[in-house]
Amino acid sequence: MKSVKIENVSKQFGQVHGVKDLNLDIKAGEFFTFLGPSGCGKTTTLRMIAGFYYPSEGKIHFDDRDVTLLQPNRRNIGMVFQNYALFPHMTVDENIAFGLQVRKLPKSEIKQKVDRIRGLVHLTQYGSRKINELSGGQQQRVALARALVIEPDILLLDEPLSNLDAKLREETRIEIKRIQSELGVTTIYVTHDQMEAMAMSDRIMVMENGYVKQIGTPQEIYNRPVNRFVADFIGETNLIEATIESIVDDVISAKTINGIVFTGQKHNSSPALSHMIGDIVFISIRPESINQGTGDNTLTGKISFVEFTGVSVNYIVDFVDFLLKVMIINTYGQLKSIGEDITLNIANESLYFLGE
Partner 1 sequence: MEKPPVNSYQENAWTRLTQSKWFVYVLISPLFLVLFAYVVFPFYQTFVQSFSGDDALYNYKKFFNLASPANLEALWTSIYISVISVITCAVVGVTMAFLLERYDFPGRRILTILVLVPMALPPLVGVLSFTFLYGESGIFPRAIQHLFGLDQVPFSLKGIWGVVVVHTFTMYTYFYLTASAAIKGLDPSLEEAATSLGAGRIRVWTKVILPMLTPSIIAAALLVFMVSMASYTAPLMFGVERTMTMQIYLSRTNGNLEMAATQSMILSFVSISFLIIMRWYQNRRNYQNLSKGVSVHRSEVSSKWMKIVATVASFISTLILILPILVLILISFSVDGAWKTQILPTDYTLDHYIALFTDERTWRPIWNSIQMGVVATFGNIIFGVAAAYAMVRLNFKGKTLLDILIMVPWALPGTVVAVNLIAAFSTENIFAFNQVLIGTFWILPLAYFIRHLPLIFRSTSASLVQLDQSIEEASRSLGASWWYTFRRIVIPLTFTGILAGTLLALVQSLGEFVASILIYSTSTIPLSVAIFQKLYAFKFGTACAYGVLQICLILIVLIISEKLSKGSAGSAI
Q: In one letter, which amino acid is 46?
A: L
Binds partner 1 by CB under 8 A, chosen from 156, 176, 190, 326 = 156
Burial of residue 70 (CB within 10 Å: 0-12, 13-18, 19+) is: middle
Please state, in angstroms and rounded to a whole number, the distance separating the CA atoms of residues 181 and 33.
Answer: 15
Q: Are 109 and 149 in contact (CB under 8 A)?
A: no
Binds partner 1 by CB under 8 A, chosen from 8, 23, 71, 128 = 71
Binding string, residues 208-237; x marks residues near partner 1 by CB under 8 A: ------------------------------
Q: Are 208 and 22 in contact (CB under 8 A)?
A: no
State in angstroms the smallest separation of the CB of 130 from partner 1.
Answer: 8
Binding string, residues 32-61; x marks residues near partner 1 by CB under 8 A: ------------------xxx-x-------
User: Closer CB to partner 1, residue 156 or residue 351?
Assistant: 156
**HSE-up of residue 139 (Cα within 13 Å, Cβ side):** 20
Consecutive H or E run containing 285: strand 280-285
Please state, in angstroms and rounded to a whole number, the distance separating the CA atoms of residues 135 and 305.
Answer: 41
User: Closer CB to partner 1, residue 5 or residue 336?
Assistant: 5
Q: Are 240 and 262 in contact (CB under 8 A)?
A: yes
Question: Is 136 a residue that touches partner 1 (CB under 8 A)?
Answer: no
Long-range contacts (CB closer than 8 Å, 24 or more residues apart) made by 302-307: 302/339, 302/340, 302/341, 302/342, 303/336, 303/337, 303/338, 303/339, 303/340, 303/341, 303/342, 304/338, 305/338, 306/335, 306/336, 306/337, 306/338
User: Closer CB to partner 1, residue 98 or residue 211?
Assistant: 98
**Total site size for partner 1, rule CB under 8 A:** 36
Binds partner 1 by CB under 8 A, chosen from 1, 70, 260, 323 = 70
User: Closer CB to partner 1, residue 156 or residue 207?
Assistant: 156
User: Closer CB to partner 1, residue 42 or residue 213?
Assistant: 42
User: Closer CB to partner 1, residue 9 or residue 240?
Assistant: 9
Q: At what angle do helices 107-120 and 92-102 cross, to 10 degrees?
A: 130
Paired residues of 236 in beta bridges? none
User: Closer CB to partner 1, residue 77 or residue 204?
Assistant: 77
Binding string, residues 74-113; x marks residues near partner 1 by CB under 8 A: xxxxxx-xxx-xxxxx--------xx--xx----------
Summarize as ranges the residues that interact with partner 1 (CB under 8 A): 50-52, 54, 65, 69-79, 81-83, 85-89, 98-99, 102-103, 130-132, 143, 146-147, 150, 156
